Amino acid sequence: MSSKDTSMVSIASCLPIELLDKIFNNVNEISFDDIHAVSLVSHLWRGPALRYLFAKADFGTRNDFERWNAIGASQIGPLALGMVRHVEFAPGERQKWRALRALRERFGDETAWKRFMATYANVLNVTGSSVEMTLPPHDSTPLPPMPFVRTLSWNLLKADKRSSLGFTPATARFLSCFPRVTELNVDDIIHANDLRMMLSAFPCLRSLTWIGGVLEEDRKHIVPFTGDLSHLEVLDLTVLTPEFGDHADLDWLLEDILRRGPPPLRRISFAQHGVPFSVTGFTRLLSSASHTLQELSFEPASSFDPEWQTLPATVSQVTLPALRTFSILNMGAVADEPDLSELQWAAACLPDAPFLEEIQLHFRIRGRPTDIFNEDFIDWVAFSSRIRSYSSLRSLTLVMYRLPRLKDSEKECTMACARERLVSLADRVKFVWA
C-alpha cells in the first residue's frame, strides 16, 4: 500500500461516528462482504458497520430462523440482538427478487426486459413466492428475544401459503420476541380475530399501517381484544371488504382503538374505496382525535352509497383545531375521470379547522387535465371563496396522476387554466405531477 493510500485510510478512520452512521444509512445496497471489509478499517468503524449489518432481521425462509438462533448463541449474540431495529416477515419475497435480479442480468436490452415483464409478471409473482415457508412449530427452539426492535413488517400478500399462516401458538411466540414494537406494517388479507391477536401482542404500538383486506369469519366466535392501542398516533388503512365492495366495515377495529380511551392520533389516512368505518364510527374517531389530529386524508365516497354521501355534514360538525393538512385522495380512481360529484363532495368535505395550512386534492386523469377547470365542471369561484376562509392556509396543492405522462406544454396549459379559475388563490396554488 502506497503512502498516499495509507494517509487516505488514516483520515477516513478518524471520521466522526455520527458521520459514519449517516454514510452507512444512506447506502442503497451493500453486501455482507462489503460490511465485513468496512468493519476491518479501524476499531472506530467496527461499531457503525455492525449496527448497519444487524439493523434489520429478515425472515423469509426456515434458514433465517436457524441463522438468528445461531447468532443469538454466539459470543456477539447479546450485542447483535440489541442492534436489531426492524424485523420483516415476508415468506419467499427475498428469493423472488433474487431470481428476478438474476433473470434481469440475462437481458442486455431494456426494451426486451420490459416486454418480457409485461408478458410474464403475473406468472413470476406466483412461482417466485412458492417457497414452502411456515413459522417454526411452537415446540422447536425459540427465537432469541430482540428487545429493541421498533418496526415489524408482516408481509404475506404475495405468499401463496398465506391462508395456512393464521394466528397460531407459533405466531404468538414469534411476535413475543419483539415486545417493544411501536410501528406495525401489515400487508395481508387476514381474519379480524388474527389481526386483533396480533395487535394485542404490542402494548407500545404508536403506528398501524394495514394494506390488504379482511376475511369473512364466524361472528359468533370473536376473540376478545386484550391489547392497548391508547398510544396510537398514526392510523393508515388501505383495506377492502371480503367482497371488495365500496368500503370495509371495520367498526370493530375502532372499538379496539378507543377501548382504553382516546389515543393521541396525529395522522389518519384511508385509501382505497373511501373510509373503512360507518359514518357514525368515523365521526366518533374524529371527535376522539379532535385535539391531536394534524393530518387527515381519505378517498371520495361512492356515488352509489347514500350513507357516505352524508359525510360532508358529519365532518363539518367536528372542530379540528390541531389539523394542519387535509387531503382528498384518488379522485377519478374508480371512474375514468374525476367527475362532478367527486369534486362537489370534496369541496363540501372541507373540515372546520381554523388553523389549516395545506389542502391537497389528488386527481387520477386519463384525458385532458384542463377539463377539470372548466367553468361548467364546478363553481371554482365559490370553491376559492371557501378556501380563503382558512386564514392560516399556505397552499392548495393539486396532485396530478396521469398515464401517459403529460408534455411540458400540456402542464403549462393546465397550470395556467387552474390559476385563471383560482385567481384569488393564485399565489397559493401548487402543482405536483406524479
Question: Tens of pLDDT along 86-97?
Answer: 999 987 655 555
Residue range 168-184, pLDDT digits in tens:
888 889 999 999 999 99
Residue 36 inside a domain? The answer is yes
When comparing pLDDT for 363 and 15, which is higher? 363
pLDDT at 24 over 50: yes
Domain residues for 44? Answer: 1-53
Q: Is residue 286 part of a domain?
A: no
pLDDT at 72: 92
pLDDT at 32: 62
Could you write out the DSSP letters of every residue in 33-91?
HHHHHHHTS-HHHHHHHHHHHTSEEEESSHHHHHHHHHHHHSTTHHHHHTT--EEEE-T
Mean pLDDT of the chain: 78
248 domain residue, yes or no: no
Question: Tell me, what's the pLDDT at 426?
Answer: 77
44 lies in a domain? yes
Task: For 96-120, write each residue's pLDDT tens digit.
Answer: 555 556 666 666 666 766 666 555 5
Secondary structure tally for the chain: helices H, strands E: 16, 12
pLDDT digits (tens, 9 = 90+) for 260-299: 999 999 999 998 667 888 888 888 999 999 999 999 998 8
Q: Residue 30 domain-assigned?
A: yes
Total number of domains constituting the chain: 1
pLDDT of residue 161: 45
**374-400: pLDDT as tens digits:** 766 677 888 888 888 899 999 999 998
Q: What percent of the chain has pLDDT over 90?
A: 30
- Find all residues with CB under 8 Å of 282, minimum gap 6, and list them: 275, 311, 314
Instruction: Write down the pLDDT at residue 339.
Output: 55
Given a cut of 80, whether residue 221 has pLDDT beyond it is: no
Please tell me the predicted confidence (pLDDT) of residue 317: 82
Length of the chain equals: 434
Split at pLDDT 50, 70, 90, the class of 122 is very low
Distance CA(168)–CA(348), nearest Å, equals 46
Per-residue model confidence as pLDDT tens digits over 295-341: 999 887 665 566 667 777 777 789 999 999 999 888 875 555 555 56
* Span of 44-58, 103-117, 175-189, 233-247 with lowest mean pLDDT: 103-117
Residue 84 confidence (pLDDT) above 80: yes
Res. 124 pLDDT band, cuts 50 70 90: very low
Q: How remote is the C-alpha of 318 from its chain's centroid?
A: 26
Average pLDDT over residues 253-258: 94
Structural domain includes residue 405: no
Report the predicted TM-score, pTM, of the whole model to 2 decimal places.
0.82
**From CA 382, how far away is CA 417, in angstroms rounded?**
17
Read off the C-alpha cell for 191: 381474519
**Is 380 within the bounds of a domain?**
no
| Angle, helices 17-25/43-53, rounded to nearest 10 degrees | 30
Report if residue 87 sits inside a domain: no
How sure is the predictor about 418, in pLDDT bands with cuts at 50, 70 and 90?
Answer: confident
